[in-house]
Amino acid sequence: MIAGSTDVTSFLGLGLFSAHVTGNLVILTAHIVARRADNACLVLSVPLFILVLGLTSLLVAGLEALAISSLRPLLTLQFLMLSGSFVLGLASDPHPALEARGILLAGQLSVAAMAVQNGLVELSLHGAPSTAVMTTNLTRFIMDAGEALLGHDPAEVAEARHRAKNTWPVIVGFTAGAGLGAACFAAAGLKSLGLPAGLALLALVMSLAAKPFGRKQ
């Protein structure tokens, strides 16, 4: 839900996809070919995503060296980034230009937060499906559903059912977050950036009571 709501609000209000880096690459390439590569948000988003993802890996390695679980620190970092995006969006004019400095920074903080979330799933939630890449999840879910219904090997059928059971809630959550984010943006404009920040805070609070996930937690 965090990724879905962040992606739709950043697309509608900030001029870029925060979680869907593929979309940013497509739009940026189209602008370059059409000689319209004037959107700083798009230009910065891809290298920033790569940079933050690399720094997230280094942070997790450092935490693990100190025998510290990485899940809560990364959730905290994501919450702070999304909160910063919300504050900057809230401080902007009611109808700001996408080139405005506050909007530019808000967009990049959203991208950075999604880079942290992608790294978090890979490094802190071992075995969990991606929470931001729905193309892969949908493909995996359909393939697993077909195997569960038509497969002949009991072991492979059981494994497919297990993966499908873990994947479908993520697809539903992302879609629900996108729908809720779009509705909030229609009603409140850039104030809707508070939705993913609030969901990130909820995830952080939930992690305090959650049982360890994966072999390194």
Rg (CA), the chain: 18
Which residues, including other chains, have CB under 8 Å from residue 106's CB and lie 6 or more apart? Answer: 14, 84, 85, 86, 88, 89, 92, 190, 193
Question: How far apart are alpha carbons 167 and 170 in whole angstroms?
Answer: 5
CB 60 within 8 A of CB 74: yes
User: Helix axis angle, 2-14 relative to 71-91, nearest 10°?
Assistant: 30
CA distance 16 to 126: 29
Indicate the burial class of 206 (C-beta count within 10 angstroms; 0-12, 13-18, 19 or more).
exposed
Task: Render the burial of 55-92: b for 16+ CB within 10 Å, e for the rest.
Answer: ebeebbeebeeeeebbbbbbbebbbbbbbbbbbbbeeb
**Residue 8 has what pLDDT?**
93
Instruction: Report the distance separating Cα 27 and Cα 7, nearest Å.
Output: 15
| Torsion sign across C-alpha atoms 206, 71, 120, 43 | positive
**Residue 217: predicted pLDDT:** 40
* pLDDT average per 10 residues of sequence, the chain (217 residues): 93 85 79 68 84 94 92 95 92 65 88 93 87 89 91 89 92 95 93 94 90 50
The pLDDT, as a whole number, for residue 215 is 44
Alpha-carbon span 203 to 103, nearest angstrom: 25
How far apart, in Å, are the Cα atoms of 137 and each of 27, 151, 156, 169? 23, 20, 18, 10
Q: What is the C-alpha to C-alpha distance for residues 199 and 68, in angstroms, rounded to an integer?
A: 24
For the whole model, what pTM was predicted? 0.85
